[in-house]
Structures are given as C-alpha cells and as structure tokens.
C-alpha cells in the first residue's frame, strides 16, 4: 500500500531546482508552454509528438498521484503542432490530502524549466443558468474560497527568487491569451459553445449542497470546481502568463425538488464527448502563444 500524501509540506528553492535539473538532464525539450490536464482531459497529452514521458513516481521530490479516475499521473514532454510543450496528465488536489504547497509544486518546477505560459484545464459544474453541459468556459477571474480560509499556497516564507511577497491577482488570467482563445475557437468552429466567466474553487471532495450553490451564484461565480486556483496563484507569483479553460460537465442542482444527483462518472462521460473539441482548441492555440 502506498503511503498517504503528506498533509503539510514546505519546499526550498533547492528542492524545486533539484527536480528541474533532473528533468533537464533527461530531455532536450525546452518547453515554453505547460498544460495542466483536468479530470478526463489527459488525452490532450496524447496529441504530443516526439514524446518523453516521466511517471510522477520516478521524478525526485515530485508528488505521487493517488488514484483518481481521469488522472494518469505522468509528466509528458513533446511537440504539439510543432510547439514544444510539457503536459501534466493528472494534477494534484487538496482534497486528496496534499498540502496546498504540494498541489502547486509542479508550477515552480515549470518556471525553472523555462516555461513562460501556463494553460490550466478542469472539469467544472455550471452555476450560470445560461451555460449548457459541454460548454467550455474561458476563465476571466476566480474566487479562491480555500484562500479565504488561509489555504493559500503563498502563505509562509516568501522566496524572492520566484516572486514578490504580495503579488497582484487582478490580472491573474491573461487578457491577450483569452482573446487568442476566442479567436482560435472561431477559426476552429468551436465558438458556439465557448463562454467566459468566473471560476470558484471549493475544497471538495463532496459536491456542493443546494444552499452552497445558491451562495456561489450570489458571489458571482459562473462555474465551480475543486482545483486550478492554487496553481494559478503560484504561476502568477512566478510571472507566468495564464489561460484557464473549464469544461462544463454538469449543471449544479439549485432546486430542492430536483432528483438530479451529481457524480464523477457523469463528469468523465461529458469530458469524453467534448475532449476532441478541447484538444483541437488547445493544440491550435499553443502555436499562437
């Protein structure tokens, strides 16, 4: 039996550099774009050519995935439409018992690898009544509920080697990259199901109650999920540009008379249906970044 992930952790610059140096010594790839694949979206990494693959368990100091359906647990280097990228096939979640610092460990490694832009994808529940299952939401902003409760990956000693003590988050999601996503979607005939909105992170792993969904709608959230925000915070701290894409896999339940029950199998089924569209969008987008 594998040991449970550590619920608290702190890392030094040397830890991140050890991991980055180990990877650089084993591949001549020099990616400028990193992609974090959300639930059921790991097939994005399968599009890469000239792949070099590292299981998480083999990478020094890298977190080891627990078994979550839709997350393979591999770091994949390769070319996407001729552009060198690195993909995380499976991310780490706070609800798995990882510390928020462990969840975001790969992002600082990406920064030391020379990555300049981060694309984060996730599966999310639709809070906006105008959204349909299968829509792709370009994230324009986020609400960090765990951060409200002190679970921010930047809590603790600040390493000036990565960024400033108080990083700005009003520009967390790059305006130019968002515009590029809409332009690419139009070219690829994906714009009919593209939305733009606010993503709210909750800790999970339980799905939201009806009352909680109503509160999140009042907050101004358009979609809700259990990931993404910690990675974005650290990416911006490191100076990376960020594009976030949420695949709306289900509509949240806001009616007490409803018999609908959200489940992970439904989430994965929807990602399978829309995965090719998302792959097409991202693969053409990276060539323009």
Q: Is position 71 annotated as part of the catalytic site?
A: yes
- Write down the catalytic residue from 16, 20, 39, 172: 39
Task: Report the distance separating Cα 243 and Cα 265, nearest Å.
Answer: 26
Q: Is position 65 annotated as part of the catalytic site?
A: no
- Write down the catalytic residue from 18, 264, 266, 269: 264
Task: Report the distance separating Cα 184 and Cα 283, nearest Å.
Answer: 10
- Write down the catalytic residue from 81, 95, 152, 214: 95
Q: Is position 173 annotated as part of the catalytic site?
A: no
Distance (Å) of CA 132 to CA 3, 64, 274: 40, 34, 12
- Write down the catalytic residue from 65, 111, 122, 227: 227
Task: Report the distance separating Cα 26 and Cα 22, nearest Å.
Answer: 7
- Write down the catalytic residue from 123, 201, 223, 235: 123
Task: Report the distance separating Cα 165 and Cα 168, nearest Å.
Answer: 10
Q: Is position 88 annotated as part of the catalytic site?
A: no
Q: Is position 105 annotated as part of the catalytic site?
A: no
Task: Report the distance separating Cα 38 and Cα 146, nearest Å.
Answer: 19
User: Could you tell me which residues are beta bridge partners of residue 54?
Assistant: 75
- Write down the catalytic residue from 93, 142, 237, 284: 93
Q: Is position 170 annotated as part of the catalytic site?
A: no
- Write down the catalytic residue from 185, 226, 237, 283: 226
Q: Is position 226 annotated as part of the catalytic site?
A: yes
Q: Is position 152 annotated as part of the catalytic site?
A: no
Distance (Å) of CA 158 to CA 9, 110, 211, 248: 15, 18, 37, 35
- Write down the catalytic residue from 34, 71, 88, 131: 71
- Write down the catalytic residue from 11, 16, 45, 96: 96
Catalytic residues: 39, 71, 93, 95-96, 123, 226-227, 250, 264
């Amino acid at each position: 039996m594998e040991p449970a992930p550590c619920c608290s952790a702190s890392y030094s610059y040397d830890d991140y550099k050890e991991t980055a140096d180990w990877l650089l010594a084993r591949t001549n790839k020099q990616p400028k774009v990193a992609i974090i694949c959300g639930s059921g979206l790991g097939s994005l990494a399968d599009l890469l050519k000239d792949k070099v693959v590292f299981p998480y368990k083999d990478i020094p100091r890298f977190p080891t995935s627990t078994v979550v359906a839709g997350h393979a647990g591999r770091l994949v280097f390769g070319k996407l439409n001729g552009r060198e990228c690195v993909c995380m096939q499976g991310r780490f979640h706070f609800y798995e018992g990882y510390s928020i610092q462990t969840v975001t460990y790969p992002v600082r490694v990406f920064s030391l690898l020379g990555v300049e832009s981060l694309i984060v994808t996730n599966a999310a529940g639709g809070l906006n009544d105008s959204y349909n299952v299968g829509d792709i939401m370009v994230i324009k902003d986020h609400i960090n509920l765990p951060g409200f409760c002190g679970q921010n990956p930047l809590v603790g000693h600040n390493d000036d080697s990565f960024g400033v003590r108080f990083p700005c988050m009003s520009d967390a999601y790059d305006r130019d990259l968002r515009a590029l996503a809409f332009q690419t979607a139009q070219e690829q005939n994906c714009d009919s199901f593209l939305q733009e909105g606010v993503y709210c992170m909750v800790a999970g792993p339980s799905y939201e109650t009806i009352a909680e969904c109503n509160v999140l709608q009042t907050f101004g959230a358009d979609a809700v999920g259990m990931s993404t925000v910690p990675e974005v915070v650290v990416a911006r701290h490191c100076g990376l540009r960020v594009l976030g894409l949420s695949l709306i896999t289900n509509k949240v339940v806001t009616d007490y008379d409803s018999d609908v029950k959200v489940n992970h199998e439904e989430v994965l089924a929807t990602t399978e249906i829309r995965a090719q569209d998302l792959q097409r969008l991202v693969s053409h987008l990276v060539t323009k970044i």
